[in-house]
Amino acid sequence: MRKLSRRQKENLSRIKDKVYSNLEEAISTLKETATTKFVESVELHANLNIDPKYADQQLRTTVTLPNGVGKQTTIAVLTNEENFDEAKSAGADIIGSDNLIEEITQGNINFDLLIATPNMMPKLAKLGRVLGPKGLMPSPKSGTVSSTLTATLTDFKKGKFEYKADKTGVVHVNFGKSNFTDSQLIENLQALYKSIEQNRPSGVKGKYFKSLFICTSMGPSIKLELDLFG
């Protein structure tokens, strides 16, 4: 068994297998466990009562958190040449058509998000095996297939991002950085919880949330009471 470092032992002693019923206390404890020399990401891990292999129990949506997540997103736009100027004016970092498809085919993926206009989707179909596993395949449901490039790019530049449940029904989402203020993290976490709740799949029967944990990148999991957001 791997030996725990002194930092890890100290962090574990802070939580002491506690289940938090107060959001302010949970966030305060979370920040206390961010003891590495770099600014850690802050994450929510929500275990949901869903089985994503069924179409009516899948969760995939987008959210814009009030205070962002502290990360700059490199956005690529795949569209026809007549839309290049609009995409550039709206803040796209990479813009292309067939040349961008060729770059992706060769494995040159230098972006965090890919937005495509509908007319380009048939050409993208062959790249599903490349983009799919990386979560970069544009889709109407996630808002990344759009004919209104200015509005779409503005939303994503403001911090809009996509999240989804994994195959076991767990949602893993960053909701900020450890150097955010307590109130910023609380606002973001509340907005994220509300988004998950409002996008409850139609096939869910009974209780939706099974467990909720928050943590920093290198910190221990902090368990939250399920009725904390009620």
Q: What average pLDDT score do residues 20-33 get?
A: 92
Q: Which of 13-27, 73-87, 183-197 comes out lowest in average pLDDT?
A: 13-27
Helix 6-15 vs helix 23-32: angle between axes, to the nearest 10 degrees?
Answer: 170
164-179 confidence digits (pLDDT tens): 999 999 999 999 999 9
Residue 206 sits at the vertex; the CA angle it makes with 200 and 207, to the nearest 5 degrees, is 70
C-beta separation of 27 from 139 below 8 A = no
Rounded to 5 degrees, φ, ψ at 144 are -100, 5
pLDDT of the residue at 35: 84
Cβ neighbors of 35 (< 8 A, separation 6 or more) are 7, 10, 11, 218, 219
Q: What is the pLDDT of residue 222?
A: 93
pLDDT at 225 over 90: yes
Distance CA 39, CA 216 (A): 9
What is the average pLDDT across 24-51?
93
How many angstroms separate the CA atoms of 91 and 104, rounded? 20
Start-end of H helices in 67-172: 84-89, 98-105, 121-124, 128-131, 149-157
Angle (CA) 225-221-177 rounded to 5° is: 100
pLDDT at 11 over 70: no
Say yes or no to pLDDT of 59 above 90: yes
pLDDT at 7 over 80: no
Q: Is 109 left (phi over 0), alpha (psi -120 to 50) or beta?
A: beta
From CA 172, how far away is CA 44, in angstroms rounded? Answer: 6
Q: Provide the sign of the torsion angle of the four alpha carbons 196, 198, 203, 206, taken in this order.
A: positive
Q: What is the pLDDT of residue 178?
A: 94
How many residues are there in the chain? 230
Give the pLDDT confidence of 174-202 residue by residue, as tens digits.
999 999 999 999 999 999 999 999 999 99
| Residue 3 pLDDT | 65
Domains of the chain by start residue, with CATH: 16-68+162-224 (3.30.190.20), 75-158 (3.40.50.790)
Contact 153, 114 (CB under 8 A): no
